[in-house]
Structure 1
Amino acid sequence: MTFKPLGKRVLLERVEEATKTASGIIIPDNAKEKPLSGIVRAVSPKVEEKGLVSVGDKVVFAKYAGTELTLDGKTYVVMTIDDILGVL
């Protein structure tokens, strides 16, 4: 992958949520929501300069934030640093 975000953007890979509840109930695929957390895979030079997040950090982001992008068969999300709510 050779994608480098521009401006104040980061590239995230969504982290899949559990498919079973604590009590053992299996959640079907059509009832799942998109995960709101992800792992940072690439950062723009401006974000790297400020040191807010770095590659490998697990972050939580806003529900409708970002633009989905498919690279090498994987789906990623490109979003601005302002849409990231926090680092886990």
Structure 2
Amino acid sequence: MQILPLDDRLLVEPIQDEGMQRTAGGIYLPDTAKEKPRIARVVAVGTDEDLKEKVKEGDRILFGKYSGDEIEMDGHKYLILQRNEVLALIKD
């Protein structure tokens, strides 16, 4: 199955930060206490031409803390974000 976002939406895969499993004081955090990732890799871009010029598949983005609709497909977790939920592109 393939998901193709429409209009000004993006399909993204959150990037898990494995390095934040322990606090500075040495306390290990359970998964339920960790913050959700806010960086994601773009999997698909919607049909909006202006958005396609700015964001490409494979780009990394920063999005708002409570943004997007979560979906799970084939054992992977994805988010569908609208253009206004994307805060920035991340360039290396």
Give TM-score, length-normalised by structure 2.
Answer: 0.82
Fraction of identical pairs, as percent = 37
Shift of 1:45: 2.0
What is the 5 A alignment of 1:66-77? 66-77=68-79
Letter in 1 for 2:12: L
1:61 aligned residue (27, 48, 63): 63
Task: State the aligned residue count.
Answer: 86
**Hey, what's the Cα distance between the residues in 2 that align with 1:56 and 1:20?**
29
> What are the ranges of 5 or more consecutive residues in structure 1 without an aligned counterpart?
none
Residue 34 of structure 1 corresponds to 36
RMSD between aligned residues: 1.6
Shift of 1:3: 0.9
> What are the ranges of 5 or more consecutive residues in structure 2 without an aligned counterpart?
none
Shift of 1:33: 1.2
- Per-residue CA deviation, residues 24-45 of structure 1 (Å, 9 max, x unaligned), is 5432212101111111000012
1:84 aligned residue (83, 86, 89): 86
